[in-house]
Structure 1
């Protein structure tokens, strides 16, 4: 019963955003979603934002939801991770944003340094050139530094992806490489946690067709249950073709409630 109540309450946590710029990209930084929970086997974080405004029949509907859950095996060497989000901003005449994202990942500890990962992903964003993207990937994650509150990870994966362009009904079947470097620094005196990540994802047979994502995240607990966070994303997608390249940035500030 306690778990059910915790689940229901967490679904209705309201995420307060003060500022956001531009649209979501078809690149999502999984590093910012990972949960470093040590021996805690199950974690669930979620939030829901709903807003409806009507002025003389002209309405704006905004719905945004995020869910992240993680489960560890008894020996803590296997991690099952699922995240999803939905974002809808709609008026009477058009959709300003209509997107969703689902990602499931399995992480297996091989040694203290090396981890094996496998993942599947489905996402859609009608405002981007690539309106739908489905992928399957496998790879390795290496812990290259762990000392004095500093963590550094290097990852490399193979990705098979299917991309769709809604405006032209085109489909692309690609073999893509994904590499990333992630640095995390914890400042214990001020209770501040900072993470920076850089992704590079080129096609194996055409490196000019690539995706780049850089992210900076800062998080500071204000109380035992409430944290303040700031996030900046910048993404570039170069197609090296007749398709229009995509560039997007996003800045957000908000509060998170952990139950």
Structure 2
């Protein structure tokens, strides 16, 4: 299956949003280049909108992905940011950093450890940090399809911004189980489907649940260009006050290899 590879890619991206998507769960599994050569690799994704007239909007967003691969291990680092202004008011402001280490134990089993920091003004997150670790198992991996399962125990710390809401300034430290299932199918020549589902229940109260479903179609018309169309659905059963429980995001990307 042909998935976007970080090594040697400079990415020019245009993102189309539906709803107010949030980064409560970040699907970094789709960012790994499983076929990358040994050594370092990196990719950059940039995008923006500038509209005037009846609709005044300015938006800029980008991400940097770095990968360092050896015979039995790989490091992955991700930095993302997005800022948007409409009619002179800021409507999106978020930053995220994620670092993950994977160590191959057997042909199908790996161990993963990760840390993450996040700031998201419009989810009222002043500070969010987490650390976790767990196994990753390749259930099957064929030329035209594959299925991978992973689970980790993580501890997260959240601090809400101080504003006029009832829970302003609240702080939380919670253990969660983070599990994911990643499937990939080659639909036809140069067209791939990648489906990822995350479940993150709170250990001390499983009804406090976060879910991410990400569907990505990847089309490669030629070796130098990849076009992606993705839809994300994020659910949080216990979001901060005034923050919706359900978010969606529709995203298109164009990747050009130089």
TM above 0.5 = yes
Q: Whole-Å Cα distance in 1 between the matches of residues 82 and 140 of structure 2? A: 36
1:165 aligns with one of 160, 163, 168: 160
Aligned residue in 2 for 1:119: 114
Q: Whole-Å Cα distance in 2 between the matches of residues 240 and 84 of structure 1? A: 24
SS of equivalent residue, structure 1 residue 208: strand
**Bigger relative contact order, structure 1 or 2, given CA contacts below 8 A and separation 6+?**
2
Number of residues of Structure 1 aligned to a counterpart in Structure 2: 246
Alignment check: 8 A CA contact 2:124 2:240 kept: no
Shift, 1:16, TM fit: 2.6
Shift, 1:14, TM fit: 2.7
1:29 aligns with one of 27, 30, 33: 27
Unaligned runs of 5+ in 2: 1-6
Shift, 1:45, TM fit: 1.2
Q: Whole-Å Cα distance in 2 between the matches of residues 181 and 225 of structure 1? A: 29
Structure 1 length-normalised TM: 0.86
Shift, 1:246, TM fit: 2.1
Alignment check: 8 A CA contact 2:180 2:196 kept: yes
Aligned residue in 2 for 1:64: 61
Aligned residue in 1 for 2:145: 150
Q: Whole-Å Cα distance in 1 between the matches of residues 88 and 33 of structure 2? A: 40
Aligned residue in 2 for 1:254: 253
Aligned residue in 2 for 1:86: 81
Q: Whole-Å Cα distance in 2 between the matches of residues 120 and 41 of structure 1? A: 22
Shift, 1:32, TM fit: 2.4
Aligned residue in 2 for 1:15: 13
SS of equivalent residue, structure 2 residue 123: coil
Q: Whole-Å Cα distance in 1 between the matches of residues 83 and 92 of structure 2? A: 5
Alignment check: 8 A CA contact 1:129 1:246 kept: no
Q: Does 1:218 align with 2:217?
A: yes
Shift, 1:52, TM fit: 4.7
Alignment check: 8 A CA contact 2:111 2:134 kept: yes
Quickly say closer, same or farther: Cα 1:235–1:131, change in 2 above 3 A: farther
Q: Whole-Å Cα distance in 2 between the matches of residues 209 and 122 of structure 1? A: 21
Quickly say closer, same or farther: Cα 1:240–1:20, change in 2 above 3 A: closer
Aligned residue in 2 for 1:3: none
Shift, 1:164, TM fit: 1.6
Aligned residues: CA RMSD: 2.5
Alignment check: 8 A CA contact 1:49 1:64 kept: yes
Structure 2 length-normalised TM: 0.86
Q: Whole-Å Cα distance in 2 between the matches of residues 128 and 28 of structure 1? A: 15
